[in-house]
Amino acid sequence: MSFEGGQRVRISGRSHGGHHRTPDYVKGKTGTIVLSHGPFTNPETRAYGHDGLPEQQLYLVALAGDTKDRVYVDVYEHWLEEAE
């Protein structure tokens, strides 16, 4: 699955015991894809001495919110789900 700019997504709320780059404070939140940064090696395996392949798409996601401040976070594709 890949995502397009403007698409609504939900960041997975699953727990993950090992190293990963999805901050706890964005898990389970919804937002909008801003852009794709392209493919990057997977830090979840690379953190344990592996090559991080296959590469995963990394997206810039703007979290939904009604305040004047907005949280932007980079999230790997396998942490994203389509949202309504």
Partner 1 sequence: MHDRGGWATAEPIVREDHELADWEVLMDAIFGALGARGVMNVDELRRGIESMPPEEYERASYYERWLYSVESILEEKGVLDR
Q: What does the binding site for partner 1 look like in residue numbers (CB under 8 A)?
A: 18-19, 23-25, 43, 46-49, 52
For partner 1, give the closer residue by CB, 38 or 49: 49
Minimal distance in Å, beta carbon 48 to partner 1?
A: 7
Say whether 15 sits in a helix, a strand or coil. coil
For partner 1, give the closer residue by CB, 4 or 24: 24
Say whether 77 sits in a helix, a strand or coil. helix
- In sequence order, what are the residues at sequence separation of 6 or more whose Cβ sits closer than 8 angstroms to the Cβ of residue 16? 22, 44
Minimal distance in Å, beta carbon 4 to partner 1?
A: 27
- Check residue 22 and report its DSSP letter: S
